[in-house]
Amino acid sequence: MEREAVLVGIDVGTSKVCALIGEVSADGSLTIVGKGVVPASGLKKAVVVNIEQTVRSISGAVDHAERISGYQIDRAFVGVGGQHVESQNSRGTVLVSGHHREVTSEDVDRAMEVARAGTVPGGREVLHVLPRGFIIDGLEGVKDPLGMSAVRLEIETHMVTAAATAVRNLAKCVQAANVKIDELVAASLASAEAVLSETEKDLGVAVADIGAGTIDLALFLDGSPFKTAVLPVGGNNVTNDIAIGLKTSLQVAEELKIEHGSCDLSAVSEDDAISISTLGEAAGRTVSRRELCGIIEARMRETFEMLGAEIRASGEGMLPAGVVLTGGAAQLAGAAALGREVLNMPVRVAGPAGVGGLTDNIMNPAYSTAIGLLYWGAKGLESADRGPYPPAPAGGILSRVRDAMRNVLP
C-alpha cells in the first residue's frame, strides 16, 4: 500500500508520555511503525510543573519511537490536558459577499473570525474553533453551506481554550526535545477520534478518558462536540484511597488496584484474602479483598457522580448513545456496570481499533489519546503537505537530553 504521509502523536499524561509514529496510506488506513512509552515525571494532573523532568520524559519517549521506526521525529501532534482546558459555544454572523450571493469558503472564514473575536478571556489561548452548524437566512441545521444562495450566513462554533501559561510551558518542553508542534489537540477530542463512531456522535454521546490524574471529557451531538472539559480526578485518587485505607505504600496500592481491584462488590467473596506489604514493615500481612474493592467502589461511584453532574450541567439532557469510557483507569473491572448504575444511561468501555503495525500492548483504553492524535492528524492531511521523515540520527537519548537542557536552562 502506498504511503501517503508519516504522522507523530505525543500524549503527555500524568503517569506516562507516549510517542507514536504512524504511516497513513492513500486509502486512509493507519499503521504504527514506532512507539515509545516512558513513565512521566514533571507533571501534575497533566500540567507541567517541572520543565527539565518533562523534557527528559518526552525525549525518552521520542527516542524509543525513533529507534524502532528508523525515522527522526521533527514534528508532532501533541495532546493537551489539565483542568485549565475549557470550552464555550459562540455564533458569528456575516452578510454573504459576491455578486451572485452564493456562500464561499471566504464567507465561512469571515463568520468563523466573527465567532472567535472578542469571546476569548484574558490569559486564555484558543486550541480549536470547530464549526457545529450553519444557519442560512434563518434556516437552521445546514451542515455544508458552500454554494448555497444566501444573504445572511450564521455559524455556530465550539471553541476550546486553555490557560496560556500551561500551553506555553507544554510547548516549551516539546520544542526543547527538538520536536516542532503540528497542532496542540485537546486530549478528549483526540480520544474521541479513536473510540467513537460517527453514529454515536450524531445521536449524542460523551467520551470520558479517565487517566491517572484527570478525566478528559467531550460531549457530542449532531456529529460535533458541544462541550469539552477536564475533571481533576483520576486513577491516582483511587490508588491514594487504597494506600490510606489499607495503610500501605502507593506502589503496593497501585499493584493491588490493578491485580485485584474491582468496582463490582457483588463479584467479590467475603472470604477472599490478599497478602500485602505495609509501610515500615518487612513482613507481609493479609487484607480482605472485599475491603479493597469497597474502597475502589466508593471512589469510583463518587467519580461517576461528578461525571454525571458535569454532563447535566451541559444543559443538553440525556445522551442517547450514553457514555464511552476510555483511558487507563477505565480498565478497572466492573467500571461500565457501576457507571450504568450511577449515570442511568448506556456505558461501555472502549479502546482504539482499526490500526495496524506495532500494536502490541497499545490497543487498549490507556492509549486512546495517543492513537487518536494520529487519527486527528490523518483527518487534516488534505490541507497539509507531509512528506517522508528523515532517518533517525545517531546519538540517542543522551545527546537529545543534553541538547534539550541547553535550550531550556540559562
Residue 333 has pLDDT above 90, yes or no: yes
pLDDT of res. 393 = 43
The neighbouring-strand residues paired with 373 are none
Reported confidence tier of residue 396, pLDDT bands at 50, 70, 90: very low
Residue 316 has pLDDT above 70, yes or no: no
pLDDT of res. 409 = 47
Q: How far apart are CA 58 and CA 63, in angstroms?
A: 9
pLDDT of res. 26 = 84
Among 8-17, 81-90, 227-236, 382-391, the minimum mean pLDDT is found in: 382-391
pLDDT of res. 156 = 92
Residue 390 has pLDDT above 70, yes or no: no
Cα angle 298, 303, 309; round to 5: 125
| Domain ranges, ordered by start, for the chain | 86-163
Reported confidence tier of residue 404, pLDDT bands at 50, 70, 90: very low
Among 26-35, 61-70, 93-102, 104-113, top mean pLDDT goes to 61-70
pLDDT of res. 265 = 92
Which one, of 170, 376, 215, 401, lies nearest residue 308 by Cα?
A: 215
Residue 398 has pLDDT above 50, yes or no: no
pLDDT of res. 296 = 97
Location of C-alpha cell 468496582: 263
Give Cα 4 to chain centroid, integer Å: 25
Q: What is the mean pLDDT of residues 320-340?
A: 96
Q: Give tens-digit pLDDT for 250-259.
A: 999 999 999 9
pLDDT of res. 122 = 84
As a whole number, the mean pLDDT across the chain is 89
Q: How far apart are CA 24 and CA 401, in angstroms?
A: 29
Reported confidence tier of residue 384, pLDDT bands at 50, 70, 90: low
Residue 400 has pLDDT above 50, yes or no: no
Q: How far apart are CA 54 and CA 13, in angstroms?
A: 10
Reported confidence tier of residue 399, pLDDT bands at 50, 70, 90: very low
pLDDT of res. 395 = 42
Rounded to two decimals, the pTM is 0.90
What does CATH list as the number for 86-163? 3.30.1490.110
Contacting residues for 251 by C-beta, under 8 A, at least 6 apart = none
